[in-house]
Amino acid sequence: MFSIELTEGAQLRPLEPWQAEEFLAHMDRARETVDPWIPWASVSTDLASATATLQRYADNAAKDKQRLYGIWLDGILVGGTMFVAFDAAAGNCEIGVWLEPAGTGRGLITRAARVLIDWAFTTRGMHRVEWHCNPANLNSSNVAKRLGMTREALLRESYPWQGRRNDTEIWAVLAHEWT
């Protein structure tokens, strides 16, 4: 297993099905702040559903379609980043992130996202990396800006969540723009 140091005491590592108990404990701590922005957080509510979430990502990683990584701070899972979609043939992918309150204010998400974007461009030869977020999630939009992404679109009322339609911002960076 690999581990990439993000800051002193913080690592980025694969998040796998055998870690479902730790993932579930993390989701329980993070749910209130993560669930409004990442709808799948609400489906990992017990050990079986947490295991299923992690297994789905593991299965899709084996198909080169998605990947999931955790962010550990002082040995505790506090967040993560993922390839929500990964299409090597088309050269396009989408990354997503989340973080519980204990990990905020340390630059962990920006650093972790940089690792994924850099890998996508330099190792896998991707052409385009996207970032989707609800425009009300200013923290997420600000990370996209820090990563040098361009806001390309606003998809109005693009997905339902908790009985109402929500907007989605689309941010992107192209390989030739990545430094």
Read off the amino acid at residue 63.
K
Structural domain containing residue 37:
4-177
Residues 6 or more apart whose Cβ sits within 8 Å of residue 69: 12, 13, 14, 15, 80, 81, 82, 112, 116
Look at the chain and report how many structural domains it folds into: 1
Task: Specify the CATH number for the domain of residue 33.
Answer: 3.40.630.30
Kindly report, residue by residue over 20-70, the tens digit of the pLDDT.
Answer: 999 999 999 998 888 877 766 778 899 999 999 999 999 999 999 999 999
CA 41 – CA 60 distance, rounded (Å) = 18
pTM of the predicted structure, to 2 decimals: 0.93
Dmax over CA atoms of the chain, in Å, equals: 43
How many other β-carbons are positioned within 10 Å of the β-carbon of residue 47? 12
Question: 120-141: per-residue pLDDT in tens?
Answer: 999 999 999 999 999 999 999 9
